[in-house]
Chains A and B, each alone.
Chain A
Amino acid sequence: MIRLENLTKLYGSFVAVDDISLHVPRGVLYGCLGPNGAGKTTTLRMIAGILRPTQGRVLLGGDDVHVNPLAAKMRLGFIPDRPFVYDKLTGAEFLRFVAGLYGQEGDTVERRIAELLEVFELTSWKDELVEAYSHGMRQKLIISSALIHRPECIVVDEPMVGLDPKAARLLKDIFRQFVAKGGTVLMSTHTLEIAEAMCDQIAIIQHGKIIAAGTVNDVRRQHQAGDASLEELFLKLTGGAHVRELAEVLGR
């Protein structure tokens, strides 16, 4: 469903994403892990068509995001890490606007808006301007907007940031059900427990390259990590020994 071919992104001479190739099949929840500045967000923003790759291409359901953007983007729901929305629209207006961007309108959309607001407990806020929403409520609104047109795949950057435990649990359930029905989710996260519990497959990115990919067990086997937890595995692969040293320094 999502295919990255030799994807590279340069900012001046800095290589943010370095020749990444990846295939996320239909019906899979795929996790992108990596330390800060590894290139996860840049990769996801290239998949969403917000950034242009310096080299390589992104295919969504067979359509190149930069050659045939409209067809590719119709399949996609994107949830960014920072919830910037129009402050002067109400929640319901924002969802109606997003549905319009995907060419959808009418009673079906109104029903879908009511449904999503209900699920994310925003119904009582639907006629209030977004400027009065909390960070978590904005995040919920953006998640609703990504689901409004019933996408085939969802690309999500740090999905749990700002969500309360109930909403985080709800989102996990939504993603699992979405995948069970044949949808595809590609998400980046720092929360390794979430990745371990939710993801069918993972890729660990460092310095813009994929340094390990597959199921958690595959990665353990590839790196002879025995039955190490994903956290230990992650720290081993990304140079996490520093973390222990840091903990010692801070504990002094």
Chain B
Amino acid sequence: MKQPTLLHVLQPKWRTALQRIREERARGGSGKLILLTLVGGAFWWLVFYVLFRILRSLRAVEELGALIPGKILGLILLSFISILVLSNVITALSSFFLSKDLDLLVSAPVDWLRLYLAKLGETLLHSSWMVALMIVPILTAYGVVFKGGLLFPLYAVIAILPMLILPAVVGCAMTLILVNIFPARRTRDLLSIIALGAAGGVILLFRLIRPEQLARPEGFRNLLDFVILLRGPTSPFLPSEWASQAIMGYLGHELDPFPLVMLWTTAAAFVAMGALLHRALYAQGFTKAQEGAERFIRGGLWRWTVGSLLGWLPVAKREFVLKDIKLFFRDTTQWSQLILLAVLVVVYLFNIQALPLHRGEPVGFFYVNLVSFLNLGLAGFVLASIAARFIFPAVSLEGRQMWLLRSSPLDLRALLWSKYWVGTLPLLILGLILTGLTNTLLEVSTFMMILSLAAMAGLTLAIAALALTFGTLYPQFETENAAQIPTSFGGLVFMMATIALLALVLMILSRAVYTYVRGTWEGQSVGVTPEMLVLFAVAAALCTAATLVPLRLALRKMESFEF
């Protein structure tokens, strides 16, 4: 029998993708495309510009020349490979074991090798596109600084492609083995925790070793030691090192084919080994993947604790809130993000505590107040990222069950109310703790403390409302993984709107803070002036409007949903 081509096996996937683009275009999505291009372009430019400046100044150091840039590239590629392995493991679980097209493909007379290669390609594409896009401005900066010439992009593709294939093969193989040990659904839970735990651990470790100390000149004892260290390969058996050697060799006009040969032969050998492993284990793994999680849950704890606390609410609202809390804590892809959140909060507080503001010299009153004020914006941004993770997907996650909510006498206002407060309350508590603690660490005055806490409360209420609203305006009803929802276009628009709001509120309040700081600096006792009151009122009105207007829009949009 003639076997179908790989392109044919993947037809449902790429045809669906094409159809989505067509539908988007038909809906007049060109504005969306322009915005995405602008944001993407700005991001690319920023990465390129920063790296370009660093590389240019490093290249000028005569003794070191291309050594440090080569090391940096090796480290960047190494970190990409680690990310890629994790992301491939998670993606392979969906594409090889949970995807909806598998029943059809596995029951059709498609041979194992074709199925493997098609799914490997799908996994590779899904998990590597973002890294591939990130590499473009980085390698462009290298190409420009080291004058790579016109053929450099082509050479870079040849060097980077096998580096993307290898983690995909490794990720797929790891998933295959894991699924043969655990049921697929439990493997997904396990992987989410491991992935986020590992990411959190790396961030924490990186921060706690205080990399800023390396920038101090007194840290280097001997330049020669440093150069010797730089000349040695960081990780000689990793493809990131081969890719970095291949690229730096080309840029240094010392073309050595060995790293490229290593990359391509290893990739080919890994694909062959991966295919053999697939032949041996896939059928058994696919069968195991059909098993459910089989968990008995009493759920009494929630009823007695949260249920009793919410006793004052009408029954519909109470059941809705309880349901949302239960779903959150039973979905590993959701609650496991709290690990990363906890790490980020620790790093955040650590950074504030590590600021050299109170180091023996007279306390810089001006700087303390400036940092405390700017901290409002930063904390607001952190809260916005958290809201994007946890509040933005709230309505999308109701998608498949919306038939039940719409056919029941549940008032949509109650639904919106529950979603809003379930997300806002923890966010508000976190926002206030974050601001209060950082201000305590900074030893700010009572005026700044009250101003910060009040502004943070107003901003949090508005940020949560914006997250819920943009999540409703740009719903992703078909997504099964809540963690993917914030990375959509709506998530981007939400973040931009929130940043605009933060900037506006801070701009309004800056005048009041300036008056206070200047007055105190000049030794006057500064009270709350009428001008300050007006500014506070304007900021409060802005936050109130940014809370109520979006929620009203969300309600209107929700009323127009059809399923």
Contacts and interface: CB of A to CB of B under 8 A. Distances in A.
Asked whether A and B interact, the reply is yes
B9 to A, nearest CB: 27
A128 B296 contact: yes
A173 to B, nearest CB: 24
B402 A50 contact: yes
A84 B401 contact: yes
Contacts of B295: 128-129, 132
A76 B185 CA distance: 36
A100 B315 contact: yes
Interface stretch (B70-78, B326-334, B452-460, B528-536): B326-334
Contacts of B272: none
B323 interface: yes
Contact of A127 (B292, B298, B318, B407): B298
Contacts of B560: 52
Interface string B310-323: 00001110111011
B218 interface: no
Contacts, number: 101
A103 B315 contact: yes
Interface stretch (B153-161, B408-416, B429-437): B408-416
A100 B316 contact: yes
B212 interface: no
B563 interface: yes
Given A89-B327, A129-B293, A98 B563 contact: no
A88 interface: yes
Contacts of A93: 299, 323, 326
Contacts of B327: 86, 88-89
A192 to B, nearest CB: 26
Contact of A73 (B293, B294, B320, B407): B407
A177 B122 CA distance: 53
A85 interface: yes
Contact of B314 (A49, A97, A103, A128): A103
B32 interface: no
Contact of B185 (A50, A78, A99, A131): A131
Which of B295, B405, B411 has the most C-beta atoms of chain A within 10 angstroms of its own C-beta? B295
A90 interface: yes
A139 B277 CA distance: 39
B409 A69 contact: yes
Contact of A98 (B326, B402, B408): B408
Interface string B395-411: 00000111111111111
Interface in B373-411: 400-411
B406 A50 contact: yes
A132 B294 contact: yes
A132 B299 contact: no
Contacts of A100: 315-316, 318-320
A230 interface: no
Contact of B297 (A80, A84, A99, A128): A128
A105 interface: yes
Contacts of A104: 315
A70 interface: yes
Nearest to B559: A52
A43 B407 CA distance: 13
A125 to B, nearest CB: 9
A50 B403 contact: yes
A77 B437 CA distance: 51
A96 interface: yes
Nearest to A92: B299
B562 A101 contact: no
A80 B405 CA distance: 12
A88 B293 CA distance: 11
A1 interface: no
Contact of A89 (B294, B323, B403, B563): B323
B406 A48 contact: yes
Contacts of A76: 407
A96 to B, nearest CB: 7
Contacts of B292: 131-132
B330 A129 contact: yes
Given A50-B402, A97-B319, A127 B296 contact: yes
A95 to B, nearest CB: 11
Nearest to B560: A52
A6 B406 CA distance: 22
A129 B295 CA distance: 6
Contacts of A48: 403, 406-407
Interface in B268-319: 292-299, 314-316, 318-319
Nearest to B323: A97
A105 B406 contact: no
A135 B323 CA distance: 22
A207 interface: no
Contacts of A85: 401, 404
A101 B319 contact: yes
28 contacts: A45-B563, A48-B403, A50-B562, A50-B563, A51-B562, A70-B409, A70-B411, A73-B409, A85-B404, A86-B401, A88-B326, A88-B327, A88-B330, A88-B331, A89-B327, A93-B326, A96-B319, A97-B320, A99-B319, A101-B320, A102-B408, A103-B315, A103-B409, A104-B315, A127-B297, A128-B294, A128-B296, A129-B297
Interface of B: 185, 292-299, 314-316, 318-320, 322-323, 326-327, 330-331, 400-411, 560, 562-563
Given A52-B560, A105-B315, A128-B296, 13 more contacts: A48-B403, A49-B406, A52-B562, A69-B409, A70-B411, A78-B403, A78-B407, A80-B403, A93-B326, A101-B316, A103-B314, A104-B315, A129-B295
4 tightest A-B CB contacts, nearest first: A100-B319, A132-B292, A84-B400, A78-B407
